[in-house]
Every structure is written in C-alpha cells, then in structure tokens.
Amino acid sequence: MNSLTLPQLPYAYDALEPFIDKETMTIHHQRHHQAYVDNLNAALQSAGETSTDLDSILQRISEYSPAVRNNGGGHFNHSLFWEILSPQPKLNPEGKLAEAINTSFGSLEDFKAEMKKAGLGQFGSGWVWLLVKFSGSLAITSTANQDNPMMDTQSVNRGFPILGIDVWEHAYYLAYQNKRADYLDSFWSVLDWSAVEKKYEEALSKIR
C-alpha cells in the first residue's frame, strides 16, 4: 500500500498572522496533522486496506475501525482546511456559489452568522461545515471530533464539504484562549473564496 503523506502548506507558517499565529500553525500542521497521517497509515495497514482513496473510504467509513474513522477524518479535514486559507484571499464569493449562498441563506452576512452560530454551538471538539448535499443544495452542519459530512455515519446533511472551520481548541487556543467567537470572526479574513468556489464546482461535478 502506498502511504499517505502530510501535504505541504502553500504558504509560510507566519503568513496568516495576525489572524492565525505562527506557533499555532506550526504545531497544528507539524504535530496534529502529522499524527493523523501516521496513525491513519498504521490503521489502514492493520485493516489490510490497499486503497488510499480517502474519499471512498470516508463515504463507507462505517465499515472501518474507529482508528480509521478518527484519523482518516483528521487527515481529510485538515487537508481541506489548509487549502481554503490564504494570506492573500479572495474575500467574497462570486458567480454560482454566491448565488447559491444567497438562495440558501439570504445573504453572505446571514451565511456567516449561521456558520458562527453552528461553530459556537458545537460542544467540545469538532468542525463546522458548508457542504453541497447529494441533492446539489447547500447546507451548514457541525460534526464532532474529526467526522465530516461525507461519512456514511452522518444521519443528516450528508454531502461534499467545501468549507470547514476547525473548532478544536488546538486550532485557536494559543492566541484566542477560550474566545472561540473571536476566532470564528477572524477566520473570514484568511478564507480564500476562490478555493471554496473551486471545491463547489468539483462537488457539483460529482453529483451530476
């Protein structure tokens, strides 16, 4: 089996300051994400799994061990998270995604408010997501631990995640301490909507 590897960040660890600090980015990527990759490779090998198609594995995650679920989700979720952040982000969505957000949530500001509400409402560790449901519509959901909307263990709002905010404390605690709301507000300053638009198009192509 080919081993999964830690993706390199497309920017320096200090590039997202002051919104996400260098120390948090370094620890988050080099330690937390690396641990998910290492543990996932070990769990897949132990299960005799020869595929490294993580999308396929997550969509039938109920067939796997908790180790594959936790670490597979951790690897997928963090890989998406790094991809949608940028030190020079496109700060507003355009085109089809902007239209879909307005249709589903009323406005971009209303959407952000709903994401913040979901992020604050997630008890303990987890994520808040914007996803494309298998029907093609947009939805907001939150998941515990390292679960995500692609997993067949999700009873509602299953689909393809295109934007995820990590609300584990290790994602923000060094700079924001217990002020998760401040972290959620700052997130939009480094979210690159061009990356989210690309993921939106990719998600739609999978369900057409």
Task: State phi, psi for 132 to the nearest 5 degrees.
Answer: -100, 115
Give pLDDT tens digits for 90-128.
999 999 999 999 999 999 999 999 999 999 999 999 999
* Angle subtended by helix axes 180-187 and 108-121, to nearest 10: 150
Distance from CA of residue 35 to its chain's centroid?
17
CATH architecture of the domain formed by 22-84: Orthogonal Bundle (1.10)
Backbone angles phi, psi at 121, to 5 degrees: -80, -10
Q: What CA–CA distance (Å, rounded) separates 153 from 66?
A: 12
CA pair distance 183, 176, nearest whole angstrom: 6
Residue 80 pLDDT greater than 80, yes or no: yes
Cα–Cα distance measured from residue 186 to residue 180, given in angstroms and rounded to the nearest whole number: 10
Q: Indicate the helix (H) or strand (E) that contains 54.
A: helix 54-59
Q: Is 32 annotated as a binding residue?
A: no
For the segment 52-78, what is each residue's pLDDT rounded down to a tens digit? 899 999 999 999 999 999 999 999 999
Q: How much of the chain, in percent, has pLDDT values that exceed 70?
A: 100
Domain 95-207, CATH homologous superfamily name and number: Iron/manganese superoxide dismutase, C-terminal domain (3.55.40.20)
Residue 155 — very low, low, confident or very high, per pLDDT cuts 50/70/90?
Answer: confident
Cross-strand partners of 160: 132
Cis check for the bond before 18: say yes or no (omega within 30 of 0): yes
Residue with tokens 């972290």: 183
Q: How much is the pLDDT for 1?
A: 58
Is residue 166 annotated as involved in ligand binding?
yes
Please identify which residue in the block is written with the tokens 């689909």: 159
- CATH 3.55.40.20, the chain: domain bounds: 95-207
Q: Which two tokens stand for residue 66?
A: 């908790």
133 φ, ψ to 5°? -65, 160
The three-point CA angle 61-72-65 to 5° equals 50
Comparing 52 with 41, the larger pLDDT belongs to: 41
Give the number of other Cβ atoms within 10 Å of residue 196's Cβ. Answer: 22
List where CATH 1.10.287.990 sits in the chain.
22-84
User: Which tokens go with 62?
Assistant: 């109920």
